[in-house]
A and B are shown apart, each in its own frame.
Chain A
């Protein structure tokens, strides 16, 4: 299992209060589940891209945040169909690396039944960027730093070069402080 991707999807689920989440990597056969909050039995499965929210995000490169109408086939296509879910809310953002979409991060069913906010889109997008780099570099199995280690490293970078790293460090610390 890819530990970086697993950490990203767990963090994304936490900060956006999503009940479920997964990262899908496009392959010639469809979209392969690379990590998931409900990982048991799901990782490695391949779902069709056609007609699904994740497929649209892969193709368009645009994030989608929506409250689908009941019965909307696009919202329940893909992984939700595998899990037997009919999501009440959906947030799906591209994991971009260099010039392309290398994966998507999809989150469903925000706690409380509301819709995902623009803040959720931004938070998920930040984490999706990490996932994109991990997918592209194939370094997901390398040792994963703890949140404290990550924050300390970023603080060090920010002290050394506040212009380049100050905002990133503050943003990541804000995310980590939200649990």
Chain B
């Protein structure tokens, strides 16, 4: 097999926003949203939802069941995530994987089954604004996320807002996202203190909601689909990128990395120069003691003065 760099890329300096997503619309990309369902008739979504292709995962006698076909959003959160992605990547096809059942009772087994279905279907981008704190499910999620990674699916998860380990947001095979204070979805930040690797708009975001309306919401739940939308654009323009290459493109195009004194293409010192000077996480500094350093959540970061706006 011939090994070569993506078209137009000679060095990391070439991973610019224009290269990454300039002119992209999301066409050809299949996105799965694992959440409360999607209100496919919402006018904001403009028919982007693959209504027949979605599934509802439930529980019968303690065993997960999968029911394909149209379904509604039981709360509104999945519709919100879909709306954020559609605004960024209007030609992407979005599929709902509902893992919150009647009465909104979610179970880790249901969540895992829904994610496994999406991975097996080979979705290009999978958005998870959910997580489980159940440690006994950590290994199955770990294995599944690795399967997604090696299979080429790009998993975007919301970092846990609370100071506890949450799965699968802690894994290197996923891209974990918390809030920044920007209103521009292309103004996302790289966080050099993992497991939360990126920060995207998630504060006072106007989101689509079930029933056809909109409301304003705050939380990492909305930061994840914002970055997933950008990833969808990149995937649309560069369908052959592997997940680690896609994550690298996101890193190189993050506002704080692009604004760093050391260009992205020169690796020496680039990480420290890019990240630590511009990303501050009040949550991690004030509340660090509530969790081990490796498992902290990240609150909103304030973009540093001098950050470049996105495209």
Contact = CB atoms under 8 A, between A and B. Distances in A.
Interface in B100-131: 100, 102-106, 129-131
Interface size class of B (residues with CB under 8 A): 35 or more
Contact of B103 (A49, A61, A166, A171): A49
A125 B162 CA distance: 6
Contacts of A126: 287, 290
B287 A56 contact: no
A53 B131 CA distance: 17
B208 to A, nearest CB: 10
B163 to A, nearest CB: 7
A168 interface: yes
Contact of A115 (B105, B179, B204): B204
B212 to A, nearest CB: 9
B161 A62 contact: yes
Given A59-B106, A69-B215, A121-B218, A168 B158 contact: no
A94 interface: yes
A58 B104 contact: yes
Contacts of A74: 75-76, 210
A93 B105 CA distance: 16
Interface in A62-94: 62-69, 72-74, 93-94
Interface string B143-172: 000000000000000100111101000000
A14 B203 CA distance: 22
A129 B289 CA distance: 13
B300 interface: yes
Interface in A39-69: 48-53, 55-56, 58-69
Contact of A72 (B204, B211, B287, B300): B211
B36 A56 contact: yes
A64 B133 contact: no
A50 B104 contact: yes
A115 B215 CA distance: 11
Interface residues of A, number: 47
A94 B106 CA distance: 14
A61 B218 contact: no
A62 B130 contact: yes
B77 A69 contact: no
A49 B131 CA distance: 19
A126 B297 CA distance: 13
A51 B103 CA distance: 7
Interface of B: 36, 74-77, 100, 102-106, 129-136, 158, 161-164, 166, 179, 203-204, 209-211, 213-221, 282-283, 285-290, 299-300
Interface of A: 48-53, 55-56, 58-69, 72-74, 93-94, 96, 99-101, 115-118, 121-122, 125-126, 128-129, 164-168, 170-171, 174
Closest 4 CB pairs of A and B: A59-B106, A55-B104, A167-B289, A65-B218
26 contacts: A48-B103, A49-B105, A50-B104, A51-B74, A51-B104, A56-B75, A56-B100, A60-B77, A60-B129, A62-B220, A64-B77, A66-B217, A66-B218, A72-B211, A74-B210, A100-B133, A101-B133, A115-B216, A117-B203, A121-B161, A125-B161, A125-B162, A125-B163, A126-B290, A128-B162, A167-B286
Given A66-B218, A72-B213, A74-B210, 9 more contacts: A48-B103, A51-B104, A56-B77, A62-B129, A63-B161, A74-B76, A99-B133, A116-B218, A122-B286
